[in-house]
Amino acid sequence: MASQFSLFKTRRFSSMFATQFLGAFNDNVFKQALILVLTYTAAAKMGVAVSLLNNLAALLFILPYFLFSALAGQIADKYEKSQLTQKLKLLEIIIMTLAAVGFVFELYPLLFVALFLMGTHSTFFGPVKYAYLPEVMHKDELVGANGLFQTGTSLAILTGMILAGVLTQLNNSLVWISGITLLIAILGFIASRFIPVVPPHEPNLNVDYNIFRTSFNIIKYLYGLPLLFFIILGNSWFWFYGATFLTQTPEFSKVILHGNESVVILLLTLFSVGTAIGSLLCKTLTKNQISLKLLPIGIIGLSVFAVDLYLSLSGIRINAPAHGTYTISELLNMNGTIRVFADLFLLGLSGGIYIVPLYAFMQAYAPISHRSRIVGANNIFNAIFMVGSAIFSIIILTVLTLSIPQLFLITGVINAVFGIFLYIKLTRYKDSMAMAEDDGLWRSQYE
């Protein structure tokens, strides 16, 4: 473990880690603060349903991933990454300035514009940060570096959401939200100034700005690399799975556990910390090797603990309290609740063990000439699967009128089926990487 954390001593890692952590942190402070403002203030003032505004906000943030991921991959392959990152961080400062005006003067359409722009910023930054790691890390550092990145992302999401909740409770909350998000953006730009120069691999690439043609072409290219194609399908499944569980967590906390807001935060924390620990364990469990041997363990854990969460939630009997909702300490003294908490933690742990090797494998063995574009294609599939998660949950809960525990059970069973399918495909194509290297298709610095 010591060598894993020693990466923080190197500028090549710590500068990008800080930049991406602050970016993810700011995304979630801004998004969550906006959702809370829409829920408790804007909906009533605008005379619009809360669910409509919140779903619109979710759509506007994820839409750029569909539209611009392929273009973002081209730009990241063509241009030097440290300078590109600095320009993106300057853009974030401008967006947060725009958002500050929207918050302070309660200009909600302007806030929606800022949200779309933040999604666009994240879309263009994704291929940069994930293609950067394999270019500056040694082969025996890549799994550890990805583990730390995934840990940082999980904690940034969690702490960003918590900070947003705290800020909305303060006097002059809109001013506080504006100032803090702008400050985080400035800190992100400062961190980006320390990222070392990474020469581009395709400086002569002609960028195609037709976003639909570029998306089609990179997906077609990816499909011609079946091993990477299925790696990315497995990666995107993680986002489907995580979105399905995390989206329903506040609801089952309120309806089944009758818990207050602190219980929701605890449940999200358990999942996020579990993911962080699982991500950190990958380096030790793989002995620094870029390998998929942890994949079956992650798949089994994601299914077993989903089924157990169904059983624990179905078997629990908690009557609604006379005083409103239960606190964490009150729930801990009730039968069956610790099992629910443990299941969420172990789901996160399994997710970390599952996802980190897939990211490391994708980065290390994507053709260098197309590495950023491969990450862009990955982001397109991630977005599709996350939207698919929302549609899937609506069908299960609204159309079929099944319960949230039953949704978790069905997801766990589907995960087992998908996991077997994925493992068979990856086993089938695992030798294709070596064959492609022999044919000159793959160009990894790890050859």
Q: Does the pLDDT value for residue 73 go beyond 90?
A: yes
Residue with tokens 């790890």: 446
Give the model's pLDDT for residue 433. 56
CA 271/CA 262 separation, integer angstroms:
14
Quick check: 435 pLDDT over 70? no
Q: Are residues 240 and 188 in the same domain?
A: no
Residue-wise pLDDT for 122-168, tens only, equals 999 999 998 899 889 888 888 889 899 989 998 998 899 889 888 98
Residue where a domain stops, chosen among 175, 203, 231: 203
Task: Read off the pLDDT band of 438 (50, 70, 90).
Answer: very low
Answer yes or no: is pLDDT of 76 > 80: yes
The reply to whether 359 and 400 lie within a common domain is yes
In whole angstroms, what is the distance from residue 278 CA to residue 311 CA?
A: 23
Most confident of the following: 235-249, 272-286, 339-353, 364-378: 339-353
- Asked if the model's pLDDT at residue 445 lies above 70, the reply is no
- H or E element: which one contains 199? none
Q: Give the whole-angstrom CA distance, residue 61 versus residue 218.
A: 22
Q: How far apart (Å, rounded) are the C-alpha atoms in residues 414 and 420? A: 10
How many Cβ atoms are within 10 Å of 251's Cβ, its own excluded?
12
Cα distances (angstroms) measured from residue 374 to each of 141, 223, 331, 377? 21, 11, 45, 5
For residue 213, tell me if it sits in a domain. no
- Please report, for the domain that includes residue 301, its CATH number: 1.20.1250.20
* 179 and 271 both lie in a single domain: no
**Amino acid letter, 237:** W
Asked if residue 251 and residue 198 are part of one domain, the reply reads no
The answer to whether residue 191 is domain-embedded is: yes
**Residue 300: inside a domain, yes or no?**
yes
Residue 426: domain span: 222-433
66 and 23 belong to one structural domain: yes
For 319, other C-beta atoms within 10 Å of its C-beta total 7
Q: Are 56 and 177 in contact (CB under 8 A)?
A: no
If one counts every other C-beta atom within 10 angstroms of the C-beta of residue 217, the result is 16
Looking at residue 363, what is its pLDDT?
A: 85
Number of domain units in the chain: 2
Average pLDDT over the chain reads: 89
Q: Is residue 198 part of a domain?
A: yes
Q: Which of 247, 240, 241, 244 is CA-nearest to residue 264?
A: 247
- Report whether 1 contacts 284 (CB < 8 A): yes
Judged against a pLDDT cut of 50, whether residue 439 lies above it is answered with no
Q: What is the pLDDT of residue 165?
A: 85
Question: Cβ atoms within 10 A of the Cβ of 155, count?
Answer: 18
- pLDDT digit string, tens, across residues 115-132: 999 999 999 999 999 889
| Contact call for residues 31 and 338 (beta carbons, < 8 A) | no
- What pLDDT shows up at residue 38? 81
CA atoms of 352 and 274, how far apart (whole Å): 7
Contacts 24+ apart (CB under 8 A), 401-408: 404/248, 404/251, 404/252, 404/255, 404/256, 404/313, 405/252, 405/256, 405/309, 405/310, 405/313, 405/314, 406/310, 407/244, 407/248, 408/244, 408/245, 408/248, 408/306, 408/309, 408/310, 408/313
- Whether the per-residue pLDDT at 23 is higher than 70: the answer is yes
Residues paired with residue 326 on neighbouring β-strands, in sequence order: 259
pLDDT, one tens digit per residue, over 320-377 is 887 788 989 999 999 999 999 999 999 999 999 999 999 988 888 888 889 999 999 9
Quote the pLDDT of residue 138: 86
Rounded Cα distance between 10 and 7, Å, is 5
42-65 pLDDT, tens digit each: 766 777 666 677 768 878 888 999
In terms of domains, do 170 and 254 share one? no
Return d(Cα 427, Cα 408) in angstroms, integer. Answer: 28
The reply to whether 160 and 109 lie within a common domain is: yes
Residue 434 pLDDT: 52
**What's the mean pLDDT in 293-320?**
94
Of the CA atoms within 13 Å of residue 71, those in its CB half-sphere come to 16
46-55, 82-91, 383-392: which has the highest mean pLDDT?
A: 82-91
pLDDT above 50: residue 378 = yes
Q: Are 29 and 180 in contact (CB under 8 A)?
A: yes
Nearest to 331 by CA among 317, 343, 344, 345: 317
What is the spatial distance between Cα 348 and Cα 105, in angstroms, rounded to a whole number? 39
